[in-house]
Amino acid sequence: MKTTHSFRIIGFTLLFLALLIPGRAMAQAPADFGREYGLNVHAENRGEQVPRGRVTKVLQYFFPVSSLMPDEPSDALFMTQQQFLTLFGKLEDLNQKTKTKLSDEALYRQVWLKSRRNNWLPDTQLTYGTLQEFLYRYLVSQKHGNIAYYEGLVLDLSEINSTQFTSIQQVQEIIKKLTAHGEQLKRLVKPTESDRTLRSQIDKYRQDFGVLLEELKVKNSPLNLIPDLPQSIRDKIVANNLNEILSQISYNYSKNTANRIHNLNVGLSKISGQVYQPGETYDFTQVLGRDGWGMYKYGWVLLGGGEAWQFGGGLCGAATVTFSPSWWAGLEIVKRYPHSALYRSLYPKESLGLDATIYRGGKNLIMKNSTDSPILYYVKNDTEKMEVTMYVIGNASYANIKIEGPILTARNTYKWIRRMERFDGTVVVDELVTKYGAIY
């Protein structure tokens, strides 16, 4: 999924195309699922909480061998998620003719962990919609030998497609898990019929995910998506096994002065083609060249809240074009400075807090490749359109990256929030706070 933001920075159009990788796939329950158990879900009540009495009646039909004590009929009483999962765990054991020896608290933790892995209850409240998804996923899991859950999924084989799965790394990890599980079953000395059925099912999953992997490599490959790639860049993409465009940004420089255009393009040419390994930190000033004499020219810069004729004017544009897609791609900010002043005529609302500036002997931009993959920067310069496009190329380390902002937190201070969900379900949240000395 790509999200596009279009805005102007210092009089020039800046287009962000941040690649947001969808989270784990969701097996979608049929619209009429649950009616056989007395659960009628429709558009109007999907987000409403389910009364406790309705929950117990539904579970009585869902687990026909169970017997539940009549519950309070009042629609004003609701069942918490913890109460529901504890009750469900007990009924599941009873239905399987076993009796749990766990305490209610321990049983709740066990069932909660399983339901979380299967993405059954994404909400904190037990709504009609989440109850429907929970029961549907439980039955799908049962149908596939309680094992159709790879990477936190319960899904039918028909769901293994490039619409549900867009991340190459995610699919590769799923294939690894399937292979390891299949090998484990092969080593069983006395496999049961259930073991053999499960192994056959896992083999089918692995084959289908393998076909999907090859499809995604073709569909997502920078080699196919970026036109007119130089051979040197193609060689680096192949050598580092880079399969995806993590983010990209286009910057129109047509309204710059000649010297600023020169500095911008020379500066970006220095970063283009650079490859940074996981954990590696890079200093933008070092990339540009510490002194820059013979490479850069004098140009207008924003300094102390006004304009000044300084050496290297325009290089802040190169810093912004590098910083913004790096942050959207999930890299760590070690050091970054915004401009000292924001000009309303040059900075529309959407751009607040997303600029970066550098200045010799003081302000610098330092980023760290905190992803699990090498990162390659490539800049394509369209001299006819007077537009540069920065591509950040690598392999997705996150199932989902969501950006929220700008949020006004104080006078001339804006915040952006970045939520990065890894494939194991852990979430990293950080903030980008920008304070301007003045806004004109």
Q: Could you tell me if 126 and 78 are in contact, meaning their C-beta atoms sit under 8 angstroms apart?
A: yes
Amino acid of residue 373: S
For residue 7, what pLDDT is reported? 27
- Please tell me whether residues 386 and 268 are part of one structural domain: yes
Q: What total number of domains does the chain contain?
A: 3
Report the candidate in 219, 201, 121 with the shortest Cα–Cα distance to residue 165: 219
Examine residue 324 and state whether it is found in any structural domain, yes or no: yes
Examine residue 318 and state whether it is found in any structural domain, yes or no: yes
- Please tell me whether residues 48 and 6 are part of one structural domain: no
373-399 pLDDT tens trace: 999 999 999 999 999 999 999 998 888
- Please tell me whether residues 379 and 424 are part of one structural domain: yes
Domain boundary pick from 122, 154, 186: 154
Which residues in the chain come in under a pLDDT of 50? 1-26, 117-119, 147-154, 345-348
CA distance 303 to 9: 16
- Please tell me whether residues 301 and 416 are part of one structural domain: yes
Examine residue 225 and state whether it is found in any structural domain, yes or no: no
Report the number of secondary-structure helices (H) and strands (E) in the chain. Answer: 11, 16
- Please tell me whether residues 66 and 90 are part of one structural domain: yes
- Please tell me whether residues 106 and 61 are part of one structural domain: yes
- Please tell me whether residues 248 and 313 are part of one structural domain: yes
- Please tell me whether residues 54 and 83 are part of one structural domain: yes
For residue 80, what pLDDT is reported? 75
For residue 5, what pLDDT is reported? 35
Secondary structure of the chain: what % helix, strand, coil (to 5)?
35, 25, 40
Domain boundary pick from 196, 220, 244: 220
- Please tell me whether residues 252 and 278 are part of one structural domain: yes
Q: Which residues span the domain enclosing 30? A: 26-154
For residue 15, what pLDDT is reported? 25
- Please tell me whether residues 258 and 284 are part of one structural domain: yes
CA distance 402 to 20: 7
Domain boundary pick from 119, 154, 189: 154
Phi, psi (rounded to 5 degrees) for 3 = -115, 130
- Please tell me whether residues 285 and 319 are part of one structural domain: yes
295-347 pLDDT tens trace: 788 666 666 556 666 666 778 888 888 998 999 999 999 999 988 877 654 44
How would DSSP label each residue in 330-349? Answer: TPEEEE-B--SEE-TTT--G
Structure tokens at 429: 């949240």
Examine residue 216 and state whether it is found in any structural domain, yes or no: yes
Long-range pairs for 224-227 at CB < 8 Å and ≥24 separation?
226/378, 226/380, 226/391
- Please tell me whether residues 85 and 215 are part of one structural domain: no
